[in-house]
Structure 1
Amino acid sequence: MNLFSRGQKGKLADLGCGSAFIVELDIAAPGMSVDVSCFGLDAADKLSDERYMVFYNQLATPEGAVRLELSGALARFAVNLDALPATIAKLVFVAAIDGAQTMRALGACALNLGNAVRFPWSGADFGDEKAVIVAELYRRDGSWRFGAVGQGFNGGLSALLAHFGGTEAAPAAPAAAPAAPAPAPGPKVSLSKVTLEKRGDKVSLDKRAGGGFGRIHVNLNWNQSATAAPPQQPAKTGFFDKLMGGMGGMGGGARKGRGGIDLDLGCMYELADGRRGLVQALGNAWGDFEREPYIRLDADDRTGAAAGGENLYINGERFDQIRRALIFSFIYEGVPNWSATDGVVTIAAPGQAPIEVRLDGGGNQIMCAIALIENRNGSLQVTKLAEYFQQQGGTSAHELMDRHFGFGMRWKTGTKG
């Protein structure tokens, strides 16, 4: 692999890189929210087509030439240069801090271009900038080239969008009768994202014009390579350890010897008629999207190969049948150390700004109640919980969480009744 420094450039052909590869950004940002994006620019270095900005609110270009996959501290762009239209002359990869911190707070970071190039950089290279233009791929003289940029930028993602000639979409406002025909709108990009910062913060989603909320996607992502903190007390024993030790027969062999922390996503639910239950990989309780409980957990990856985290889907067209859903996570493998996970849950509904909840508290507990999704007279309300639970004697963290939030399920060793 070629090691590049700031300002270094080279032809992809000379670097042994083809037209299809992965651009991976590994950003060390403990306790911070960093938005990674790719701008597809025209020959004038402008974002003339807003569909070619790939970021958290738009994960792919129209033809799929650039696709983004977010995984904790990692952002992976699958790039196929041959599939890009001729109007796109440059791909610019950027990172912007969302919040009060600046780039100097970042640790050691790197951009990898397939197996061809590694470009290391760190927060020590910057001052009070809120963003960095990391690198670019560009056409010149009929061939594609790579440039390691590493240029700080004073504004955040919104300022970068303006720098590249894009226009940010204004928040939706009540419609008013127009006095005259309005000119055709130019390209606009919605940078809307709702971050629930503190425990108890809430946000509500509106139904779509045709009713319902569509397919609601709940994604849990974390730094899968994080090293767990050394244990501060003797190893745990009791019911939960026995339950976890038996997971090899309930959904595949456990991941052993990976040296990192592995999280599992789950959901406690209460239906409109009062029935309650659990959706999680433990016990193969996957749920169902089309039928009750209208909540489905995607197949859990026990190999560690998947980079897309854990995913759960709620049927928003049948949300009238759901009273509440408690989204939780537990540490499936590794010594409990929530501060090392950089965990984040994103709740996304079609046509609405994604809601972000970060797992930014806790200590050595095994379980985290992340967010509560409730049906409030037909509206969908999301509340940040950030409540952490630890097994107490023979009482599992699952049961303690159940008691705390009043679901009232009956528990016994190894099963739920």
Structure 2
Amino acid sequence: MLLKKGQKTDITKNINAEKWIVCLGWESKEEIEIDSAAFLLDISGNCQQDEDFIFYGNTMSITQAVKHSTAPGKDKEQIEIIEKKIPPNIHRIALTLTIHEAEKRDHRFGQIHDAYVRIVNSSDGTELLRFEFGSDLENETAIVTAELYRYNGEWKFNAIGSGFNGGLAALCRNFGLDVSDEEETLPPPLPVTLTKIELTKKESVQIRKSEKITTHLEWTSKKDLDLYCFFVTRDGVEGKVYYKNKGTSTKSPFITLDGDSKNAGRETIHIHRPDQLRYVLFAAYSALSNGIGSFKSMHARAVVENHVGQTVIAPLLEENKYAYWVAIAHIDFTDQSEMKISHVEKYSKNNSEKSPLLYKDGSFKMDVGPEEFKSPSIFNLFGAKK
């Protein structure tokens, strides 16, 4: 069973074995030292004691429910879990990877490829589930790859694959453990709860402002949608990243667009330096040559991830069959530690191809920007528009 990021599946119902073998693997062109670990967490998401942190320096939990070791074959490391020995106060087991001395050696997970976590049958080694992750990581030095969690008396697997900076010290703090004086020299991260939030109409939510933000425009129809990211930089510069200007990660605005999808699926915007921005507005454009139809019927939505375990979904809730543009989500980066994500859902006027505009104060208007023509429309061909 191959899982996607954010997907969950039953373990106790699907895996008929007393022992679960969790295997982790990765590849890299350079010599990068990576360590796996398991954090045994209570209902509040914290380790109650140091012994609940299972890694190369503490390879066995107190009840012998969880054991860390190197792995045979192509896998790099493995964690064995015996369900019946898991104490009742343990509600989650977070499975993680960290880069040893990442800051000193200038190593990042962006240098890693083909990373995965899988569970195999303890008797014959048959692969039972697999989650591949890491293609969206760059400067992160720690990853929560997945977690096992109790639900209604059963155990489930949650594919996470979210990374953040700070290495092992950050993970320990995040899960309620003290770190050594040497590790204390690393910048302390804010507490993070792994969450997924789906916004309701005009709702806003504040999540951690991390070092990288990714936004996906997802849809299910065969129509061609285009993701636009309107921005205002910290210096007050206004602009947009879209299929004609895919941006750059190395200079302002530090925003890039992945490709230009012409079929059902997704387009992705990466914000590489949120600290260099004040505001962004995510909008979608539907080309006339593809016909007119409701964005809602395409199941279009914006999905924002901060790469420290928090995901916000902004769905489209209104029926509007004659708009070429819809503004979906707005992000306010002006707070030092948090960012405010708002569900906006505003449509252009009927048959208007004038784009939205985002202003320096963070406000925006529809139907005031330049017209966009991705491909010649019937109006262009017959001279109705110039």
Q: TM-score, normalised by structure 2?
A: 0.49
Greater strand content? 2
